Amino acid sequence: MSGSRRFGALLVAALGAVLVFLIVPVVGVFVNVSPAELLSSLGEEGALDALRLSLETTAIALAIILVVGTPAAYLLATRSFRGRSLAVTLVELPLVLPPAVAGIALLAAVGPSGLLGGVVEGAGVELVFETAGVVVALTFVASPFYIRQAQAAFAAVDPTLLEASRTLGASEAETFARVAIPTARAGLYSGTALAWGRALGEFGATLVFAGSFQGTTQTAPLAIVERFGTDFTGALALSAVLVALSAALLLSVKLLSGSAAFGSGASA
Amino acid sequence: MRLRRVPGILLCAALTAAAGCGGDDSGGGGERGELTVSAAASLTEAFESYAEGTPGEERFSFAGSDELAAQIRQGAAPDVYAAANTELPEMLAEEGLVEQPRVFTTNSLVLAVPKDSEIESIDDLTVPGIDLVIGAEDVPFGSYTLTVLDRLPAADGEAILDNVRSEESDVKAAVGKLSQGAADASFTYVSDVAAASDRLEAIELPAELQPDVAYGVAVVKDAQSPEAARAFVDGLLSGAGTQALEDAGFKPRSGG
């Protein structure tokens, strides 16, 4: 069966090419900066500020996404209603929007002279140039990554399981919390990781909507681009930290969700 | 589940193969007669209008001058580098990355505000609560801004710096924030306000505060089309480029 062997070789070659293409830039970040340089440029106040701000804002954005996105995804996955596919499409829209467009759209919607600018101002909330604005931008661009995954995960839950729960007397809310969520766990974890990763890397929407100011709105990706002009080592050092953080995030979620991270072909 | 993965892998293979083919035959960028120009964001309108009258095709990359210089240091080689100051091109020349730079135009820094603004002078910026955006200190329009603030009485300079809400990486980003009503004021070039005159107005700075804003241009050493690059630069020094710059609100280079 030389045909199938040739096909197998093609697949291996393709995977090899993909891995090399994806890994080499990441390796480049680490070989260009010595550990000593990395530590010293991280010692800078601005770098630590940026990392702290990134962790804080992504954590808050993620909490909002989980709390609101999980029930929303459950509804999309388990009920059929008029306008459902429209809702699904709308939820996915930010996925395909260029980040800068997302930033401009947010300005046009909730910026000072935007559509709802008066409402936001009336409520005493300031978003532009404020950390809250960063959270809004992150939530906007990252939530579809979670909701899509969560929706797929809920849709994959065996309906008879939910039915059984109801038959046994559990309320809708109990069924959601104690059957649906635990059963869809793996998908929810991976959606969380994707959304977090996207939020951690967010650049364009934050810059356009919230601005860039150390300690308030300058997250790690913004600090990296600012350093790129004058301090390439500093930019690399911050990049290295973000790569490490993202990798740790992905790995921990893989472990949490119980699917073998590497190796063992028996993926769920 | 498993069956659905195969097409994904094939797609990746196809994409990789396509990317590979592309990489093989391109001799490294610039096609025949095409010129790549890395230019300060403030030159956007002037260069685009200059390009309409040139025989060749130009590909522009507009961004903060410092960012473009960093790209050249990292090995990206456009044909022409034009910056909103003279220091960056001179530094690149000292590092052997570009040919001898020339000053080709000047500009002035102004206080830019939205049309309906109540701000009338730089003194109004000291009032707490004004949302001011300035350039990051490494990008020329940011360092000119700091020069201006340095020339003010220390207390005024501090008060104005306290109102800074965002540090932008290029001047067009600051103009965008102003046009959107997100910020109350910024220091930009007079040419940027001219390009957005439907929404912004310029407040001139007192002469004693005005920094010298001179633009330097150089042909990049590794240029793909050095001849076309030199012609482009010559046109800026005396030719269609000079006119385009003037129309966009730039001023002639002094002593030229």
Compute mean pLDDT per 10 residues along chain B, 256 residues long, and list them: 38 38 35 80 95 90 92 90 97 96 97 95 95 94 96 96 94 92 94 94 96 97 93 93 95 72
Chain B residue with minimal CA distance to A9?
B13
C-beta atoms surrounding B192 within 10 Å = 28
Say whether B136 and A112 touch across the interface (CB within 8 A): no
What is the interface size between A and B, counted as CB pairs within 8 Å?
94
Crossing angle (nearest 10°) for helices A45-78 and A220-228: 130
Contact A113 B167 (CB under 8 A): no
Residue A176: which of A69, A22, A71 has the closest Cα? A71
Mean pLDDT of A63-83: 95
Residue A147 has pLDDT above 60, yes or no: yes
Q: Closest Cα of chain A to B165: distance in Å?
A: 6
**How many Cβ atoms sit within 10 Å of the Cβ of residue A241?**
19
How far is Cα B205 from Cα A20, in angstroms, rounded to an integer?
Answer: 55
The distance of A190 to chain B (nearest Cα, Å) reads: 16
Task: Write down the pLDDT at residue B27.
Answer: 35
Q: Is B87 on the interface with A (CB under 8 A)?
A: no
Nearest to A24 by CA among A231, A263, A243: A243
Q: Is A264 on the interface with B (CB under 8 A)?
A: no
Q: Is residue A140 part of a domain?
A: yes
Report the DSSP beta bridge partners of residue B186: B112, B133
**pLDDT tens for each residue of A111-126:** 888 899 889 989 999 8
> What pLDDT sits at residue A2?
74
Q: What is the spatial distance between Cα A247 and Cα A29, in angstroms, rounded to a whole number?
A: 14
What are the phi and psi torsion angles at B208 (to 5°)? -70, -15
- DSSP structure class, residue B252: P
Asked if A225 and B67 come within 8 Å (Cβ–Cβ), the reply is yes
Residue A268 lies in a domain: no
Q: Is residue A6 in some structural domain?
A: no
d(CA A131, CA A35): 31
Asked whether the beta carbons of A209 and A136 are under 8 A apart, the reply is yes
Q: How far is CA A222 from CA B63, B74, B76, in A?
A: 15, 19, 21
In a domain, A143, yes or no: yes
B13, B139, B168 ranked by CB distance to A14: nearest:
B13
Closest CA to B176 of A229, A99, A209: A209
Angle at A24 (CA atoms; ends A19, A28), nearest 5 degrees:
160
Within-domain flag for A266: no
Q: Is this complex's ipTM strictly greater than 0.90?
A: no
Please check whether residue B230 is in contact with residue B101, taking contact to mean a CB–CB distance below 8 angstroms.
Answer: no
pLDDT value at position A13? 96
How far is A112 from B194, CA to CA, in rounded Å?
24
B67 neighbourhood in chain A, CB within 8 Å: 225, 228-229
Per-residue pLDDT, A231: 81
- Output the CA–CA distances (angstroms, integers) from residue A28 to A22, A24, A47, A237, in the order listed: 11, 6, 20, 12
A 56-95 residues with CB < 8 A to B: none
Q: CB neighbours of A230 closer than 8 A, spacing ≥ 6?
A: B66, B70, B138
The verdict on a CB contact (< 8 Å) between A11 and B133 is no
Q: Burial code of B95-111, b = ≥16 C-beta within 10 A, e = fewer? A: eebbbebbbbbbbbbbb
User: Does A121 touch chain B if contact means CB atoms closer than 8 Å?
Assistant: no
Tell me the average pLDDT of chain A: 89
Q: Across the interface, do A230 and B138 touch by the CB < 8 Å criterion?
A: yes
- Return d(Cα B51, Cα B88) in angstroms, integer: 23
d(CA B135, CA B112): 13
How many domains in chain A? Answer: 1
CA dist A31 and B219 (Å) reads 32
> Cβ–Cβ of B180/A111 closer than 8 Å?
yes
The alpha carbon of residue A171 and the mean position of all alpha carbons in its chain are separated, in whole angstroms, by 32
Q: Answer for the pair B66, B23: CB distance below 8 angstroms, yes or no.
A: no
A109 touches B: beta carbon within 8 Å: no
Going by pLDDT thresholds of 50, 70 and 90, the confidence category of residue A259 is low
Range of the domain at A150: 32-260
Nearest to A40 by CA among A231, A230, A245, A214: A231
A107 found inside a domain: yes
CATH number of A54's domain: 1.10.3720.10
- Tell me how far apart the alpha carbons of residues A127 and A130 are, in angstroms, rounded to a whole number: 5
pLDDT band at A1; cut points 50, 70, 90: low
Helix (H) or strand (E) holding A101: helix A99-110
Asked if B67 lies within 8 A of A229 by C-beta distance, the reply is yes
Could you write out the DSSP letters of every residue in B64-112? Answer: -HHHHHHHHHTT---SEEEESSSHHHHHHHHTTSB---EEEEEE-EEEE
Residue A178 in tokens: 């104690």
Let me know if residue A18 belongs to a domain: no
CB B171 within 8 A of CB B135: yes
A212 in contact with B, Cβ within 8 Å: yes
Q: Residue A216: inside a domain, yes or no? A: yes
Contact at CB, A211 and B133, closer than 8 angstroms: yes
Taking the C-alpha atoms of residue A252 and residue B250, their distance in angstroms, rounded to an integer, is 55
